[in-house]
Amino acid sequence: MEQLGIEYLEVKNGFVHARMPVNEKTRQPMGILHGGSSLALAETLGSLGSAFIVDLEKNDVRGSHMSANHLRAAKAGWVYAKAVIIHRGRNTHVWNIDILDEAEQLVSTCRLTNFIIPKESKKRISE
């Protein structure tokens, strides 16, 4: 995620906090934060959060569904994202990711569902 300038600030069980610059790499032509950049930030945090929780030698993490509501434009500076797990099942994780500007105003709120796939089932499918 170096391409977007994402910097991780805190990673712990069920929580990920990061920031991303609002600059020429993350803005759309109208000069505001691109919705796709916000989604990339949100999915990165939720996926990292799931990867941190599961045993990656035994499981893969795959995004299943992502949704977002963009509520405010960000034009410069940094946006800060906080991902919190709201469902931790055996086969699925659901994350809520809020993206805020430097004034702590909500820019976007996102929901990510990840599938947790046992690696053994992948082997059976490919055989």
- List, by residue number, the catalytic residues: 43
Question: Which pair of structure tokens corresponds to residue 102?
Answer: 């430097």
For residue 12, which amino acid is it?
K
> Are 71 and 22 spatial neighbours (Cβ–Cβ below 8 Å)?
no
Question: Which pair of structure tokens corresponds to residue 81?
Answer: 């994202």
Question: Which pair of structure tokens corresponds to residue 117?
Answer: 């796939």
Burial 72-106 (b: 16+ CB within 10 A, else e): eebeeeebbbbbebeebeeeebbbbbbbbbeeeee
